[in-house]
A and B are shown apart, each in its own frame.
Chain A
Amino acid sequence: KAGVTQTPRYLIKTRGQQVTLSCSPISGHRSVSWYQQTPGQGLQFLFEYFSETQRNKGNFPGRFSGRQFSNSRSEMNVSTLELGDSALYLCASSWQGAERGYTFGSGTRLTVV
């Protein structure tokens, strides 16, 4: 079966702009989580959605937001981009939660200049 698909794979944006990243989970998976990965901070949890509802949220500013659609696809939005937002953004999906492990996509590499 198809894995978790993230688009785009690479993105270059200017400081102050906004960006939307997309994630298509594995068919049947209802939980989608987003992570930011940087060399200095490692993998940081952004938020988790289940059945279109945000179930958990990490410690990121309000510039980071997300949503999940009825088909479980999810989008993440970052407004007023800062240089420090440059990172690999990873999406992970699972059937219901953590017990069976999460399947990660290959990520979107965002560079803010």
Chain B
Amino acid sequence: SQKIEQNSEALNIQEGKTATLTCNYTNYSPAYLQWYRQDPGRGPVFLLLIRENEKEKRKERLKVTFDTTLKQSLFHITASQPADSATYLCAPIYNFNKFYFGSGTKLNVKP
């Protein structure tokens, strides 16, 4: 079965720096890979989707890369702010819209 790995340790960075989060998957490559943000007690919020044939996707201060050779996606937040503090989940999507979520990485941005 598919295994999704995200760094379980919290990432602590200083405001203004770039945060980089990692998502690794096993076995075969997903058709798409999504990134979500989740705040405590709330449902995840969709941020970005990248397709298997795309190397990079950007949205404002967010950037996602997808390397099918390394079986890895990186999620970057540039000029990070304390309001970016949350748990970030990656969700590779395989055939027929079957979702697997990583366990998430907690990001703490300190002022």
Contact = CB atoms under 8 A, between A and B. Distances in A.
A10 to B, nearest CB: 11
A65 B105 CA distance: 30
Interface residues of A, number: 24
Nearest to A43: B101
If over half of B's interface residues share one DSSP class (helix, strand or loop), that class is named, otherwise mixed; here it is mixed
Contacts of B103: 42
Interface stretch (A12-20, A69-77, A79-87, A93-101): A93-101
Interface residues of B, number: 22
A101 B49 contact: yes
Nearest to A107: B43
A56 B98 contact: yes
Interface of B: 32, 34, 36, 41-47, 49, 89, 93, 96-104
7 contacts: A43-B101, A55-B96, A98-B93, A98-B97, A101-B47, A106-B43, A107-B42
